[in-house]
Every structure is written in structure tokens, then in C-alpha cells.
Amino acid sequence: DKINAQKREYREANRGRHAEVGILLRKKRKEAGLRQKDVAEAIGVSCSMISIWETGRQPPDMPRLEKVLPGIIDAMERMAAK
């Protein structure tokens, strides 16, 4: 149907940008020595959502990103302090 075609077109057109966000999230998570599970629990999302973001299949939407970033940073700082 037309709506699904538009969604697929949007995803394909933005895959590169989505991947850049995912690469950054993954890099920062790994630098902090965190597992996807650690980040997911710290910010209240599923492990599969972290995977989806990191692989560039879908980026977090802006309100979610604004909510998630402080949690990721906080989790990383807590883990680094251990």
C-alpha cells in the first residue's frame, strides 16, 4: 500500500544518517564498557531497541533521543567510575 511504500522510501533515503547515529551510540557504549542490556535498563527501553538504533534500522526519534542521551551518558559515567 501507499503508506508502507512511503515508509520504505523514507527508511532507505535516511539509512546513512540513521547508521551514523547508531555508530556513535555503539561507540560510546563500548567505550564505557557497557552491554546493550546495561544501556537498555538504564534508560528504560528494550535491548532490541538499542540494537535497532545501533544498526541504523531506525534512529531514536528526537523526543526519545533527548530523553535517552542523558541516561546513556549517566550510565556510562557510572560504569566508568567503577
pLDDT tens for each residue of 21-70: 788 888 888 888 889 998 888 778 899 999 998 888 887 777 767 766 77
pLDDT at 76: 66
Q: pLDDT at position 80, please?
A: 67
What per-residue confidence (pLDDT) applies to 18? 66
Which three cell numbers mark 8? 520504505
CA separation for the pair 49, 3 (Å, rounded): 23
- Residue 36: predicted pLDDT: 92
